[in-house]
Structure 1
Amino acid sequence: MIWLMLATLAVVFVVGFRVLTSDVRRAIRRLTERLGISAVPVESMIDQMGKDAGQEYLRYLQRTDDKNLLSAAQVLLIWQVMIVDGSESHLRQWYRLLRKARLAAPLSDAHIRLAFGLLRELEPDMQDLNAFQERYNALFMPDDNVYVLH
């Protein structure tokens, strides 16, 4: 009889947990499936952001438009390259992921401000973020205003 009660309690706990976190898991899954990656990098970033900033990021991910998904992916890119691994090969790998997912776009000032706000607990340096923005845009985003005359 005690085993039955413990089993019931465990089932209720697991089902309750899955119901309470379904929106969060769905939002994370939307980004990870689009990028073709596991949820581990996104969950790690959210954990390192801290409670408040992590909740802000999750609310941002839960919005359904592609503009917010693009911005969320750009924050993930900034975290991956600025915090996790700043090597050139890692940057190129993440750019390929973004391009394949059709989320490769120039890093705007708005993306930098968003990342600065969300990663505030990690105390990023705004000058480093601006330097990364210039480096990324110079490497991967051709200048559309340059015309070659023949």
Structure 2
Amino acid sequence: MTGVNLTGFLGDAYPWVKAAHVTFVIFWMAGLFLLPRFYVYHHATTPGSAEDRAWIEREDRVRTIILMPAMLIVWVLGLMLAFHLNVFGQWWFSAKLALVVGLTGYQGWLGSYGKSLAAGKRELENRTLRIMNEVPGIAAALIVVLVIVRPF
């Protein structure tokens, strides 16, 4: 295979680990796009209503079935790839890692805000929720540029 580093600790498994990493990044991003959109719709419901309870259940499923497992797998596989390629200390990787840490924190904030919604609190304006919905898309675009272009 041309351009593939098979000499690291992953050896021949490298392309498989990379493929799995990209796959779970897609799953994670899908959840990060979906959950804030759910919050926008949930925000408009009456606390305690049947519709409110349905959104709480949907949101919990996204967090527990999609987001948490995908994020954990992305981290494990991503760190395996980073060690295999020995990219620690490269500026593009440091920037990418900072964005991934930021997305992880964003996911934590999503979980916290979901608990507020479930408790009947509507702490943010609808417009703010819609703006927050753009965070993962911007981060994903920046990460792709860092990984593919490696501008520094």
| Normalised-by-shorter TM-score class | under 0.3
Structure number with the bigger relative contact order (C-alpha 8 A, sep ≥ 6) is 2
- TM-score, L = length of structure 1: 0.28
Larger of the two Rg values belongs to structure: 1
- TM-score, L = length of structure 2: 0.28
